[in-house]
């Protein structure tokens, strides 16, 4: 059964890369990617996403480029066997709880601080901004030739405490952390 669902997931990911997939907007497609990524990521110990007693939280910090579409898409969806909640944050600190955090381009000036808090929790960070993966965001979505793709910062993943399935890594463009001098 798991093999069958993973095959379907891969087909959905591949179809989503095609232009005009079901006439969905770019951010609606990106919203669906967020949920699909969770199938290929494991959270450690006490923050285990397999703990079905608590809600799976998708957070957005700052501006919402999805225009509240995440609420519609995930209102009755379980991620990692848990009900899903969308939360909006003005800032992220040690007390901010979410499993996945979308970081829009408007947060460029606060990116280092956001990533530092995310690593301490641990949080799957996702963005769609050029240079954010090199700066330490775990998954960065991009559009190239009218197709949505994603890149994964392998160095940041190794520091995050999250475990990425090799099948997700095979679909991604692998990049490394930018070294600031």
User: How much is the pLDDT for 46?
Assistant: 47
pLDDT per 10-residue tile (average), the chain, 181 residues: 52 50 78 96 69 86 95 94 94 82 97 91 95 97 94 96 96 80 37
pTM of the model: 0.83
Domain 2-175, CATH: 3.40.50.2300
Residue ranges of domains in the chain? 2-175
Residue with tokens 């891969």: 10
């Amino acid at each position: 059964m798991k093999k069958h669902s993973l095959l379907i997931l891969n087909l959905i990911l591949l179809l989503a890369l095609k232009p005009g997939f079901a006439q969905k907007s770019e951010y609606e497609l990106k919203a669906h990617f967020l949920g699909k990524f969770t199938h290929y990521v494991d959270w450690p110990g006490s923050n285990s996403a397999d703990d079905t007693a608590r809600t799976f939280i998708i957070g957005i910090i700052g501006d919402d480029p999805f225009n509240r579409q995440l609420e519609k898409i995930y209102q009755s969806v379980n991620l990692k066997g848990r009900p899903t909640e969308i939360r909006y944050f003005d800032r992220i600190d040690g007390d901010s709880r979410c499993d996945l955090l979308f970081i829009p381009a408007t947060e460029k000036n606060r990116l280092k601080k956001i990533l530092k808090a995310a690593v301490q929790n641990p949080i799957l960070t996702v963005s769609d901004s050029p240079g954010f993966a090199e700066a330490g965001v775990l998954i960065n979505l991009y559009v190239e030739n009218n197709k949505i793709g994603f890149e994964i910062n392998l160095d940041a993943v190794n520091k995050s405490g999250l475990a990425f399935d090799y099948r997700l890594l095979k679909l991604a463009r692998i990049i490394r952390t930018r070294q600031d001098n």
